[in-house]
Structure 1
Amino acid sequence: MGDAFEVFIGPTLRGEKGQFFTPRNVVRLCVEILDPKPDEKVIDPACGSGGFLIVALEHVWKKIEEKYKHLPKEKVGSLKTEIASKNFYGIDKEFDLAKVSKAYMAIVGDGRGGIFCADSLVSPEEWTPIQREKIKLGSFDVLLTNPPFGSKIPITSKSLLEQYELGFKWKLDKKTGKWERTNKVLDKQVPQILFIERCLQLLKPGGRMAIVLPDGILAGDKVGYISSFIKDAAKVIALVDCPLETFSPSVTTKTHVVFLEKKKKGEENGPYKIFMGVARKVGHDRKGKEIIRIDEKGEQVIDDDIPLISKEYKVLVSENKKGKSYTYLGYLVDSNWLENNLIARSYLPEFLEVLEEINKSKFEVKNLGELKQKISTGANVGAKNYTEPEKGYPYILVKNITDEGINCADLKYIDEESYHANKNAIVKKEDIVINRCGNAGIADVVPEDLDGALACGFVFKVSLRKEYNPYYVVAFLNSRLGRMQMNRVALGTVLDHITKSELEKIKIVIPPKEIMEKISNIMKKSLESRVISRKLLKEGLNLAENINKF
């Protein structure tokens, strides 16, 4: 009934202010993992049309029906109505959405009295007396929400921003590696970030929440303070990575569902297991068209990983099945691994196994940042500035840096003006070039015949300190140990990319000099043979072009 209701009202309500209906499979996942109980108070502070509340209510009602199946139906019905009216609450800023949610709750069960039209982010003092009476900070056991998000709807009110820790500017203390709040109020903040803090305020200590958030605020150099704030205030109990198509066709945004448990006063994070799952399919494509697959019984089913993740959670966490082999749909991660990065795929077991293998090396291990003299990016030059090879300078693009080295077959050349205007992007012989995006993380040493070429803006150029050998470093970066680390930190909302700070954290095993030289010499010979091959090819083609001069 709920699905049909949203299909009917959806086109008239969605989208102008960053609000979109949460797909029913994601809603069910949240409810099944949080598992609200009949005596628990539940709230959605951005309830929209009430989807989370309805599914949570149905979930609780099933528990009531099972527990009291020996009672008359009328008695069970009264219990269900009482729970709906006393334990379920929703807030939405938009009058039409709040009205729809009230109607929805009235149709399913009498929970309409708990739905209010109000701004969840303002101080409760600005709510009406009845709203303040019914909705108190620190009084809810379970919270489920998908807050409106987007840079087009920022919060700019200073009086509102200063009510939130996340409404202030934060800075990273490079010595301690910890984020600290400053006393400077931000000029603006996107609502989804403030919603994180308000949601935690609404929960009791020990309360549980599920919140849908865009990947862009869960990892990255500039937003690490958000994950740091979350980890200080709550235990991360689960992370579910949703595909790019999850909210299609309404919007294409890469999201996660973040599950938290609010810390009790004085509670410290001891080691515990965090459930994580990565959904690669969500049952529809970017146009919203349903995708069907044939299951093991030969029957047509929707091709959707989300329900499978819920099943994995039940097996791994609820049933505590130890020793079960992991899949990307469900795996447990020791909380000690958790960084200021809440992207589930960063903690896939194969990535963590590589890090552990490196950490246990009998040789010294250093970060790439410790080896570098300088790391910078190239420069983007438009195609209108391309020219003929004999008139220009080589321009190294992402597509030129491949698993087999720098491919010069399709090398572009730029005019003299563009070249001299971007001198900081010039690479020298034995510099290292690394793709920032596309095939992110692939590296190579700049050969002799590309000395003085220009690197594009989607390429890192790295010069090492004299005591470190670029041929060895490239060999390590392109090995399994290096590539798995690169894949781990290559993140993005649409196109995966590597940030400079993450690149500097890549671990490099530093073997004794004789081992390093052996590997370096092999790599150098490989590079030199490619240079010789290009020279011979060029010579042969030149002779063929001038065949009539023989």
Structure 2
Amino acid sequence: MLQESEFNLIQSAISYLRDDLGFTIIDSEIPFKMGQVTSRADIVVYKTENNLEIPYILVEVKASKEIGKYAWVQAESYAKRLNAPYFAITNGSKWSWFKTGKIGESLEIDIDEIDFKGTNTETKRTIKNTKHFSDILNQMKDILYNEKLKTDEILYELIKILFVTIECEKDQNEEFFLIDDNVYQSHKIKDFYQKTIKKHPNLLDHRLPETFFQINLNDMTILKLISILSHYKLIDSNNNSVSSFHLPLNFENKRRSRGNYNIPQELSQFLLNFLSPNIDDSILDPASNTGTMLMEINKKCVSFASKRTQNIIREKISKNINGMEINPNLYWLTCMNLLIHGYDINGISILDIENVKPKHKYDKIYCFPPFGRLNSPHIFEDCHFKLRSFEEFFLVLSIKLLKKSGKMIIILPNSFLMSHSAKKVRNYLKEKMIFLSIVSLPPNSFLNTSIQTSVLVLEKKDDFSQQGPVFMANLNSKSILNDENSYDSILKDYLIFQDGNFEGNKISKHSFVVDGNLILENDIISPLHYVPEYLEMKDQLNHLKKKIKLDNVAEKIATGTRIKSKDNPSGSSIPLIKTKNIIDGKIIEKDLIFINKDTPRINLWPPGTLLISRIGKKNKIISLPSNFPEYAIDSNLIGVKLNDSILPEYVAYFLNSKYGRMQLDSIKINGIIPHLSISHLKKVIIPFHPIEVQQKILDQKDNNGNKIFSEEVE
């Protein structure tokens, strides 16, 4: 990132080059390779030769009073790399000009010695890369911000203008850029937009807002936007309209309505490498959002073709690739995004969630559904359970729309993989599908949300299908979160899995193989529940001669109470334990607050009750001391009242050991806020002994219980 002072200097330098010296073709922050390192030129001035833009003057900007020798060496090396015949160095107040020569031999010159021919020629410029494209859109966005439009309105109107400009360029129609009468020109542009969208029946759907059927800007704003785009060629020599650049449809509004999150381009490419589309496949994206996934599928299919056959393949796959979207606004964005990038939209439709009747079947389905609760539960005809969330609805819909032996890839929140409420849908999934792969994604995979998700690759069962081994990977691991190549490393591991070139059940530090039948037998399908170390430890625990589930020795297991400030008046006598009161396995009494014993909904817990943190950081499991006759606990804690057959201190000692911790970690539901589920907590296994043996273990315990319980388990 540039410091603010240097950024301002660059903008000031560009103004000087353009306004005072008359240069017209100027770019800033231009990336280029210097060996293995990517460097950036502050400013590059171009000249035009044979309709090509050629680097002419490199300008290095330094935010310092004195310009040192290093700046000269750096600017010279950059100019040599870009083949710029001249370079300049400035700190804003002083400019030094040089003619590029051999390394160390460039000569300082006067600006009058520079030939200006070709540097002030107006020409249609080529868009160089995605950043260049984004800069152009940001210029247009700034104009629309001044019109005091909402963020979504800015997005919609910008797309309309971009669409009109591209359609004009396709038709080689320059008339909108040549009319002198501003009002007449803007009216022509509005009319052109309305005529053009009539060529695409999808854009005339009656469920779309009326504002989408016309351009809703004043005349001067339209002309300002068109004038920016008029300097650029939006269609390349292969007749592709900015198709290699990702259109930043979201701007600041990263999160879309109904729990929709825009899928990053690198993640969509990862999904396509995991489940590669074929040219002859019939393909569906049932939750297309803004069309990013559909475009990536199109590009992936076209990449298989030679240059000679690309147009034929493009036409063929346009008939095979289909998309649905439940949100009319996002449906419109999908259609416009595809059209702007030169793709067909005949296969795109609005999904009516209330009247969905699956008809067509598909070979492959790529689904990134919105997350969150449905307004009202949905029931499919042959399903005997209610679908209460969008992710459940889209999972079942995708299963129904898939052909036998067809494959699908879907992103689901981790809470679905293990929550009790989704158990019936998970059972339906196991009944209809074969698990091929499950990969837990990093927590910040999507902008403006830390919701934790997993990718499932599935195959629909036919009459002869059998569940085989399943590839699993954990990108949640701290050691891989900051690795920019984490997707690539998992793909390499997946290829090793497919080739069978591995021994045992572990492929790498983050990837492993699981017996698919084990997933079918268990309630949980999260990768965290099947890491080899946990399965090995769980197997050891299951082979203990004396063991018991926590639920069998507990009289009560429940979460605490959500306490309001009005519930702790003066004179209250019941201490309220919060997670912040538990530090290093002890309750810090000086920060305790007290509540009224008659508080509604309150559960009171006696000394000896185990306290387990339900959410947030790992705290040691402790038992309540006998300092008070009874306690209340807040809703971030789980209380476990044990029966007389087991000592609370013994259970806490075991749960704090590696055997207890690994069990607790494996059942943690990784939603936006990871939390423990009581239904899974009840199944935690504990070594069970007579009271006198438990006490003997406590008497000789080490710091964390690992040594004693390791000896017992092993």
TM range (shorter): 0.7 to 0.9
Q: Secondary structure at the match of 1:223?
A: helix
Q: Percent identity?
A: 22
CA distance in 1, matches of 2:397, 2:304: 29
CA distance in 2, matches of 1:227, 1:3: 39
- Name the aligned partner's letter for residue 563 of structure 2: V
> Counterpart of 1:346?
529
1-structure distance, mates of 2:390, 2:492: 32
Letter in 1 for 2:560: G
Q: 1:332 aligns with which of 499, 506, 513?
A: 513
The alpha-carbon deviation at position 11 of structure 1 amounts to 6.8
Shift, 1:424, TM fit: 5.6
User: Match for 1:116 among 330, 346, 349?
Assistant: 349
Please state whether the residue corresponding to 1:247 is helix, strand or coil.
coil
Corresponding position of 1:400:
581
Q: Which residue of 2 aligns with 1:56?
A: 297
CA distance in 1: counterparts of 2:555 and 2:534, whole angstroms: 27
Q: Name 2:437's counterpart in structure 1.
A: 238
Change (3 A) 1:346 1:413: same
1:206 to 405, 409, 413: 405
In the alignment, structure 1 residue 275 sits paired with structure 2 residue 472: yes
Aligned to 1:480: 658
State the partner residue of 1:178. Answer: none
Which of 314, 317, 320 pairs up with 1:84? 317
Quote the Cα distance in structure 2 between the aligned partners of 1:281 and 1:24: 23
CA contact (8 A) 2:435 2:470 kept: no
- Could you tell me whether the CA contact under 8 Å between 2:655 and 2:661 is conserved in 1? yes
Deviation at 1:107, TM superposition (A): 6.2
Q: Cα 1:145–1:482, aligned 2, differ >3 Å: closer, same or farther?
A: same
- Match of 1:430, SS? coil
Matched, 1:489 2:711: no
- 91-100 or 223-232, larger mean C-alpha shift: 91-100
Give 2:180's aligned residue: none
Say whether 1:163 aligns with 2:377: no
Match of 2:415 in 1: 216
Q: Which amino acid aligns with 1:377?
A: T
- Write the distance in 2 (CA, Å) between the matches of 1:322 and 1:204: 34
* Secondary structure in structure 1 of the residue aligned to 2:375: coil
Please tell me whether Structure 1 or Structure 2 has the larger radius of gyration of its CA atoms.
2
- What are the superposed Cα offsets for residues 221-242 of structure 1, whole Å, 9 maximum, x if unpaired? 2221121111111112222222
CA distance in 2, matches of 1:524, 1:109: 68
**C-alpha distance in structure 2 between counterparts of 1:333 and 1:524, whole Å:** 34
Indicate if the aligned counterparts of 2:585 and 2:619 stay in contact, CA closer than 8 A: no
Q: Structure 1 length as normaliser, TM-score?
A: 0.73
Structure 1 residue 473: Cα displacement: 1.6
Structure 2 residue 470 is matched with structure 1 residue 263: no
1:246–1:282 Cα contact (<8 Å) kept: no
| In structure 2, distance between residues paired with 1:396 and 1:221 | 27
**Runs (5+) with no aligned partner, structure 2:** 1-241, 705-714
Query: What is the DSSP-based 3-state SS (H/G/I as helix, E as strand, rest coil) of the residue aligned with 1:419?
Result: coil
CA distance in 2, matches of 1:27, 1:426: 50
Give the partner amino acid of 1:396. I
Q: Number of residue pairs matched?
A: 461
CA change 1:524–1:267 in 2 (3 A) is closer
Q: Which aligned pairs between 1:386-535 and structure 2 lie closer than 5 A? A: 392-402=573-583, 404-415=584-595, 418-421=596-599, 425-440=603-618, 442-511=620-689, 515-522=693-700
Unaligned runs of 5+ in 1: 66-72, 126-135, 170-185, 285-292, 294-301, 527-550
Quote the RMSD (CA, aligned, Å). Answer: 3.6
User: Structure 2 CA distance, aligned partners of 1:397 and 1:460?
Assistant: 11
Whichever residue aligns with residue 243 of structure 1, its letter is P
Query: What amino acid sits opposite 2:512 in the alignment?
Result: Y
Match of 1:141 in 2: 363
Report the residue type matching 2:451 in the other structure.
T
- The 1:223/1:234 distance shift into structure 2, 3 A limit, reads same
Q: Partners of 1:154 and 1:500 in 2: how far apart? A: 27
The whole-number CA distance in structure 2 between the counterparts of 1:367 and 1:228 is: 24
* 2:393 pairs with one of 186, 191, 194: 194
SS at match of 2:669: coil
Q: Call closer, same or farther: CA 1:424–1:95 in 2, change over 3 Å.
A: closer
Q: Is the 8 A contact 1:205 1:264 kept in 2?
A: yes
Deviates more, 1:317-326 or 1:240-249: 317-326
- Does structure 2 retain, via aligned residues, the 8 Å contact 1:395–1:411? no
Decide which moves more: 235-244 or 86-95. Answer: 86-95
After TM superposition, the score normalised by the length of structure 2 is 0.58
Which AA in structure 1 matches 2:367?
Answer: T
User: Is 473-482 or 313-322 further displaced after alignment?
Assistant: 313-322
Q: Do structure 1's residue 379 and structure 2's residue 561 form an aligned pair? A: yes
Give the drift of 1:40. Answer: 2.1
Contact 1:164 1:194 in 2 (8 A): no
User: What is the identity, as a one-letter code, of the residue corresponding to 2:554?
Assistant: K
CA distance in 2: counterparts of 1:283 and 1:485, whole angstroms: 22
**Secondary structure of 1:227 counterpart:** helix
Q: Which amino acid aligns with 2:285?
A: D
Contact conserved, 2:261 with 2:447, CA < 8 A, in 1? no
Shift of 1:77: 2.4
**How much has 1:243 moved relative to structure 2?**
3.2
